[in-house]
Amino acid sequence: MCSSYLGALITKNIMMPPQFGKKHYRIPPYMGHYHDDDEDDAYVFIGLFFILWGLYWAVVHFMDWLVGNWLPWWMEPLTLFFWLPPAIVVLKFGWNPLHWWPMVWGTRVLAPERVEQAHNIDEEKLLKKLGGPRNVWFTTNDDYDLVLKFRRRRDAVFFSMKYL
């Protein structure tokens, strides 16, 4: 009796085709306007930042305890800010210190529009043609015009003679 009942359940619920002629449409509820959920993400990121900062503080506190507590307690979490300038430089110019020269010196040349249009799609080709990141750096001015910054004045003169 038990096996026939189980067979009837399987046949009734799974094996039977749906009823023909009956159509069920799901009508979504109308929302006057949809709220932006982007505002809620800020709290998650702020919380994640404080959690990571707390973990960093715990590691620095432990290292400070190992060397004899030479840092005051209020200075331990602030040691994170000493890592910010090198991190910004690495994000902008890359890990190779030989590519950090545009921070300090360089000869600026405003690129003509025909160079911008010709090499707008393939900046890497123009970068390789002009000597790579050790010789030229691409940036923009306040008017969003392409500005090339050359490490040597000689390269800037050659570029100006060829393209201007």
Residues 103 and 141 in one domain: yes
Q: How much of the chain is helix, strand and coil, in % rounded to 5?
A: 55, 10, 35
Bridge-based pairing state of the strands 136-140 and 146-150: antiparallel
Q: Which residue has the tokens 């023909």?
A: 20
Residues 103 and 157 in one domain: yes
Number of domains the chain contains: 2
**Where does a domain end: 94, 128, 150?**
94
pLDDT digits (tens, 9 = 90+) for 3-13: 555 554 454 44
Q: Which amino acid is at 33?
A: H
pLDDT digits (tens, 9 = 90+) for 87-126: 999 998 889 888 888 888 888 888 777 666 655 556 777 7
pTM score above 0.85: no
Residue 6 belongs to a domain? no
Residue 80: its H or E element = none
- Is residue 137 classed exposed, middle or buried when 0-12, 13-18 and 19+ CB atoms within 10 A define those classes? buried
Residue 11 belongs to a domain? no
Residue 147 belongs to a domain? yes
**Where does a domain end: 64, 94, 124?**
94
Residue 31 belongs to a domain? no
